Structure formats: C-alpha cells, structure tokens
Amino acid sequence: MMNALKKPKLFRDTRSAKNLPYLLIAPVALYLLCFMLFPFAWAVYISFTDKIIGVEGNFVGLKNYIDLLKDRIYLKSILNTFIFTGGSVLLKVIIGITMATVLNEQIKGRNFFRSIFLLPWTIPTVIAVLIWQWMFSDVGGVLNAILQGIGFKNQVLWLSEGKTAMLSVILVNTWKGMPFIAISVLAALQSISPVFYDAAKVDGTNAVQRFFYLTIPQIKDVIILATLMTTIWTLNNFEVVWLLTKGGPSNATNVVAIYSYITAFLNSYLSKGIASSIMAFPFMIVLINKATRKMLEE
C-alpha cells in the first residue's frame, strides 16, 4: 500500500531538477541580501537623518539632499567627476585600441611586449600611485628633470596647480586602467578571420580603410562593453585621486568619492556623506543596466 502511494521516480527527478537552480543561486541571493541589500537600505535611511558619527540621528527628510544641491563644493565635485571620468575613459579607449592593434600584428617580441603592457594593471594601486607621485614631485621629480633637459626653464607644479593636478590624476588613472581596454580589444581582434583582410586587400583598400570599415565594426560590441565597464570603475575610483592630491589643490580634483569620504569620515557628518553618494546612484544604475544588457547580448 505504501509503495503504491509513492510518487513515480521520474516525477521526483523532474521536481528535483526544477529546484536545483534555486538551490544553486540561494548562497548568492543570501549574500546579496545580507551584505548588499541590507547595508544599502540602512544607508538610504541614514541619508534621511542628521546622523553624525558618535551621535544619535534624527529624521530630517530631504534636508541633506537639498543642502547638497546648494553646496558649491559638492557641485564642483560632480563637475570634476565628469571631467576626470570623461578624460580618463577617452584616453583609455584611444590608447588601448591603438596598442591592441599594434600588438595584434606580427612583430618581433610580441609576447614580451604583451606581458610588459599588462604590468600597470597588475601593480598594486598604492605602489603605482606612490611611484607616480615621486615622478610628479617638484623637487627631484623625473618629469620635471626631463622637461628641463629638453629646454624648459620653469618647473611644472604637477600636483600643486588646479589644471595640472587634474591632468595628473587623469594620466595616472589612464596608465593604470588602459590595459583592460587593450586586453579586451586584443581578444576581439584575434577572433577576426584573416580571410576578411585578404579579401579587403584584393579589393584595393589601404590599412586605414580596413581599420575603420572592417576592424571597428567587428569589435564594436567589445569596445562598447569595455568602455561601459571602465566608466563604472572610473566613476567609483577613490585611491588614485586620494593618494595623489586628496582632492586638492583648492578642490580642483575633489570628485564625488573624495567628497563623500571627507564629509562622512573626516568631518563625521555620516548622513550627508552617504547622501552625496546616493545621489549618483541613479546614474550608476543606468550604466550598470547598459553593461549588463551588452554582456547578455554577447
């Protein structure tokens, strides 16, 4: 009687197969709930209070957000963030595609140059930035020594003047993140069949025409995805700017990440610091959504 009431083995196997995906994603879902969703919900709540580190906060509604929109330093940090991100990403994409194209050619020592090209991405950020800080130094800096060697009389105050400080952090961030673009593009270039190039040569096209009308259309999706990813990372970049300039001089390199850190932890105004980060969240969601869609299309 008991055996007759048991469900068929095929039914049990089918049910187990349906439950397997939920069991596999359960750890990830639990992690996201505990370490991302809950902290984010807590941060959103804190942003609506006047919480100061060490002091109980009271609910103040949108006051922090309104104050931020009136804060000239915060508004300047938004502008600086777009300048820093835009300049860095543009240089990364241009130089990365150029280097990937060169390293895709049959040149002597190609594998050696590929290995060397990866070094900036593998060196820890702190070490890389400290090296660059020494190179930018007003006294004994390598860059000023080179400039004086080719005829420049005055030293360039790389990290002490607003325009050159922003240029400096953009250059360091570009140097550090450029290999990601190059690796991504190089992988895409190697997937293009040589037959296409042979046919294009037969048609009488030159190297420039082949690059813009054959190569770029073939690797366009990879370029877009890599650009979106590096844009997200650059918007959230903190280490390079903080270690080089700490947002100075006179807030010339004060990006949103630096402003949030200084407000929340150095000035102890936790709620306002969190609110400054949350205000950039919708823009980040748009970029993440586009990057996710592009990855799913691949």
Predicted pLDDT at 114: 81
User: How much of the chain exceeds pLDDT 70, in percent?
Assistant: 93
Predicted pLDDT at 56: 87
Predicted pLDDT at 193: 86
Give 59's strand partners: 49
In this predicted structure, the answer to whether residue 168 has a pLDDT above a threshold of 80 is yes
Please indicate, yes or no, if residue 264 is contained in any of the structural domains. Answer: yes
Instruction: Work out the angle between the directed axes of helices 270-278 and 63-70 (0-180°, nearest 10).
Output: 70
Residue 2 pLDDT level (bands cut at 50, 70, 90): very low
Please indicate, yes or no, if residue 10 is contained in any of the structural domains. Answer: no
Give me the number of domains the chain comprises.
1
> If you average pLDDT over residues 34-60, what whole number do you get?
90
Please indicate, yes or no, if residue 19 is contained in any of the structural domains. Answer: no
Q: Which domain holds residue 140?
A: 71-297
Residues in the chain: 298
> If you average pLDDT over residues 281-298, what whole number do you get?
75
Please indicate, yes or no, if residue 1 is contained in any of the structural domains. Answer: no
In this predicted structure, the answer to whether residue 238 has a pLDDT above a threshold of 70 is yes
Please indicate, yes or no, if residue 183 is contained in any of the structural domains. Answer: yes
> If you average pLDDT over residues 55-81, what whole number do you get?
94
Residue 192 CB contacts under 8 Å (≥ 6 apart), including other chains:
214, 215, 218, 219
Average pLDDT score over the chain = 87
Give 55's strand partners: 52
Please indicate, yes or no, if residue 13 is contained in any of the structural domains. Answer: no
Residue 144 CB contacts under 8 Å (≥ 6 apart), including other chains:
137, 138, 155, 156, 158
Please indicate, yes or no, if residue 12 is contained in any of the structural domains. Answer: no
Give 49's strand partners: 59
Range with lowest mean pLDDT among 64-68, 173-177, 193-197: 193-197
Chain centroid offset of residue 161 CA: 25
* 3-class SS shares of the chain: helix, strand, coil, % to 5: 75, 0, 25
Supply φ then ψ for residue 153, to 5 degrees: -90, -40
For the CA atoms of 119, 120, 123, 125, what is the dihedral angle to 10 degrees? -170
> If you average pLDDT over residues 111-121, what whole number do you get?
83
Residue 79 sits in a domain whose CATH number is 1.10.3720.10
Please indicate, yes or no, if residue 25 is contained in any of the structural domains. Answer: no
Identity of residue 236 = N
> If you average pLDDT over residues 178-207, what whole number do you get?
88
